[in-house]
Structures are given as C-alpha cells and as structure tokens.
Structure 1
Amino acid sequence: MIYVLHGEDNYSSYNRLQQILKNYQNYTKVKIDEKSPVDEFLDSILTQDLLGTKKIIICENFIQAKKIKVTDLKSIPDDHDLIFWEKSQISSSLLSKFDQNFKIEQFKLKPQLFTFLNSLSPNYFNSLRELSVLRTYKQINLNWHLSARLQLLILAKLGISREGSEKIAGKPIQHWQWQKLLLQANSINLSTLIKLFTGIIKIDFFVKSGKTNIDETYLISTLLVKYLRG
C-alpha cells in the first residue's frame, strides 16, 4: 500500500501517520526526508532485508522537494509499503498523475484557524474575537498551530531567510506566505513574540500533563492580553 498524506494541518497528518504505523508494528521502519539522496530512496525500494523482515518506508517532504518524479512513483511495485508525508498541499495537477491505487489523504487547516493566526498583532481585540470562534472546534490542537506560527514570526523577525526558515520549520513556505509573515512580524516586537512563544509552550505542557483543567482557549486569551497589549 502506498499512502500520500499531504496538507497544511501537520498535526492531524502526523497523527494519521502514527495511526497507520500501528498497523506495521512488526515492520522495519525506514525514514527518509528531503535531505536524503535519491539513491537512498531507490536502495530502500529495490533491496530486501537479508533476514526477510518486512519494511515500510516513510518519506517526509520527498515529493514537494522534487526528489522523485511521478514516473518513478508509478514504477514502485504494488506490494511495497510506503508513506509519503508531505507537510504542505500537493497541487491537484500533480495529484491527478498519481496511480489510482495510491491512498491519498489531504489535511486542511480550518479557515477560521488561519484567520486567527493572521490576526495576531498589537490590536489584540481582533485576535480575541477570532479566538472565541475557535472555541466550538474540537481536536485542532490550537497550541501546536499557534506555537508553529510564532516560531515562523520569530525567525522572520530575526532576519532568517525564507529558505533558512523552511529548513528549521521542516516544511516549504511559499513566497507569498513569507511576505505575509514578514508583514505580520514587523507589527510585533521580538520580545513580545518570544514571550508569547514561551507562554504557549508552557500552556501546552500544563494541558497535556493534566496540571490544569482550564480551557486552553481561555489560557491563550489571557496570554494574548498580557503581552500583545504592551
């Protein structure tokens, strides 16, 4: 079976990846990413374990990095087990070229989540309003997405290039996305961004460790008011 997991909601796609891997507990896991040479991928496909142990190959951002062509994908034998985990959306034109036996799953971020993340600015009233909309949504892991956005804003504020930020974040960033991030980063000072990032990491720890029963959106709103209002 060949899986293709793609989309901007990396949290959900990662959980799906782990769910799939539970079905391959006795398999050898071979992990490849966009930094791996193509030969390593081909060797993993063509070679067999000397002891006959079955394996599943996990390729991270391999398609988006253009490390493999569609024709190469079509030549993969049907009895091989692979998961292509792409941290951004694959274009529909490219998806249309994949074999029909590929199991393709897309993970989209909810528009309301984008609206909230884009609203982060010293005008925290807008952020609080958009945050209140997200209270009705379940299982979006707001802490994870917020910390990821804050990380990118900090990188932009520090003058790290788009290419450098892509490597640190582990996902491709389109030029237009980077321009929006630069504008957003310019509206918030670096000290505030770092305090917000540190605060959201602490909130995530308290929530996941069961040290608090307070709703995460309330904790986040308190954090935003504390630091964004200056």
Structure 2
Amino acid sequence: MILLHGDNPALSRRRLSEIRSQFTGEVISLDAKETDPTNFSQATQSQALFALNKLVIIENPQSNKKLLPLLSHIENLSLVLIENKKLTPTEIGHLQKVLPALKIEEFKLDPVVFKFLEAIAPTNQKNLLPLWQKYRSSEEPEIILTMLARQIRLLLLVKSQAATGPEDFLRLSPWQKSRLSSQSQHFTLTSLLELHHQLLNLDYQNKTGTSLLSLPDSLELLLLRL
C-alpha cells in the first residue's frame, strides 16, 4: 500500500507509471471524486476471470471522506493512492489510521523550479536563461514542459480574473495568487493564450515525433523568443 503525493505531480505520475508497468494482473483506476461507496465496493471486490493479482489505483482519496473507511476492507489487493498535491501531516495521519501499513512517497519540487517559473516574462532572458540551464540539466524535458504549461495556465486564469478553475488553481493561497498576478502584468491576455498554444503544439510534436528540434532545444527557443 503506497501513497504518492507532493508538489511535483509530474514526478508522482511518473512513479505511478512505473508501478503500473511493473505490475502483472488486473489494474483498476478510480477517481474518488466520481466514485460512490457502492461502485467502489464492486470494483475492489469483483475478480477478473483470469486475473491472479489486482492493482487498485485511487486518485484524490482525500476528496471523498465516505470512501476512507472502506479502504481498510480491501484484502488481497495492491493499493496505490495518489494525490496531485502535497498532503498535510494531519491528512496523512487520517489515511494511516485506516491503513497502518501505508507507505508514504513524497515528490518535491527543486527550489530552482519556482525561481525559473516566476522568472518567465518578456525580455527577462538575462535572469531566466541561467535558471533554465540549471533546470534543464536536472530534469526531464517532458516534466519541464508540464510545469511550464501549468504556470502559463495559472497566469491565464489569474489574468482573466477567473472565479473558478481546476483544483490546483482553487487551492492557491492569497500570496500565491498575488505573485501570479504580479507576474501576469508582464503579459497581455493574448500573449498568454499564444504561449499556451505554442506549448500545446510542442507537446503534440514531441509525442508524434514531428519536431525538427529536440524538446529541450524547442523549449529554449520558445524562451528566447519571449
């Protein structure tokens, strides 16, 4: 039984992929936000005809308090809980009361990531590029692309004064929104939309192998053109 959490969801997702690829048997993925106790019980108790092992992956377990007591009834199954955020010690404690054998794996962001993301602004290459080089040398390009896309998405939401949005936006603290608001002043809404579109294109080209440049070089070119 494993809990994957932390402020680096890209790394936790990579770890989840590793677990899935190494597992032989039936894999069931459930999102606690969209699963009621009845469906949860049916999914975790039913056995596939030829499956010798079963791996149950539960996303966002903290979002559905009704499911937490049911976790203790899971038997003869491999269980992975994954949260796309860092849980507090209290939240982890609640899970460990239900699952005493739960192993915790936290995935943290390198401090240079925050500095790099906050330095993204037009004509700021003097400060941005040294941070980019440090980040580039220590992280896989796909994860950098994911973090860049997330930052631009958050800037778009703040710039447009959105009242709602995805979970990572809604749980931002006031000081985080204030810093994003300050950073967004360096962009127009149109330029942020264009930047977001460019990142989507890079992701598509990387996945389809249609880019003439490597992903790190494509990202660097994008930053140079800010």
Tell me the residue number matched to 1:154: 156
Q: How does 1:1-230 map onto structure 2 within 5 Å?
A: 2-45=1-44, 47-49=45-47, 51=49, 53=51, 55-63=54-62, 65-68=63-66, 72=69, 75-97=72-94, 98=96, 99-125=99-125, 126-139=127-140, 141-161=143-163, 164-167=164-167, 173-176=171-174, 177-212=176-211, 214-226=213-225, 228=226
Q: 1:137 to 1:23 in 2, by over 3 A?
A: closer
Instruction: Return the alpha-carbon distance in structure 2 between the equivalents of residues 147 and 216 of structure 1.
Output: 14
CA distance in 1, matches of 2:76, 2:170: 30
Secondary structure, counterpart of 1:22 in structure 2: helix
Q: 1:39 to 1:106 in 2, by over 3 A?
A: same
- CA 1:40/1:181 → structure 2, altered by over 3 Å: closer, same or farther? farther
> How many pairs are equivalent?
219
The runs of 4+ residues in structure 1 deviating greater than 6 Å are none
The range that moved more, 172-181 or 123-132, is: 172-181
Superposed displacement of residue 81, structure 1: 2.4
Comparing 106-115 with 214-223, greater Cα deviation is found at 214-223
Q: 1:77-119: per-residue Cα shift (whole Å, max 9, x none)?
A: 4523222110001113332451442122111121111111111
Q: 1:186 to 1:93 in 2, by over 3 A?
A: same
CA RMSD of aligned residues (A): 2.9
Q: Identify which range, 80-89 or 207-216, moves more after superposition.
A: 207-216
TM-score for the superposition, normalised by structure 2? 0.79
Structure 2 stretches of 5 or more lacking a match?
A: none
AA partner of residue 173 (structure 1):
R
Contact 2:27 2:57 in 1 (8 A): no
Where structure 1 has 5 or more consecutive residues not aligned to the other structure, the ranges are: none
> Shift of the alpha carbon at 1:208?
4.1
